[in-house]
Amino acid sequence: SRAYDKDRDGFVITGGGGIVILEELEHAKARGAKIYAEIVGYGATADGADMVAPSGEG
């Protein structure tokens, strides 16, 4: 498979993993942690009809 090739013609299911540890801002400040980012909002949408092309209507 050539997932990033301009002539690709399919989809390959794969897996991966990662971890993000979230902490309340005041707690991190109290322990002197280096603040890399702050989450100020989030959103998500999918209608479950297609794994690679979720509906924009949610």
Q: Can you give the pTM of this predicted structure?
A: 0.44
- Output the tens digit of pLDDT for each of the chain's 58 residues: 677 788 888 777 888 899 988 999 999 999 999 999 999 998 876 666 666 766 666 5
Give the pLDDT confidence score for residue 37 in this predicted structure: 92
Q: What are the CA-CA distances from residue 29 to residues 24, 25, 32 (Å)?
A: 9, 6, 5
SS3 label, residue 43: coil
Give the pLDDT confidence score for residue 48 in this predicted structure: 67
Give the pLDDT confidence score for residue 41 in this predicted structure: 92
Identify the residue whose tokens are 């897996």.
15
Give the pLDDT confidence score for residue 36 in this predicted structure: 92
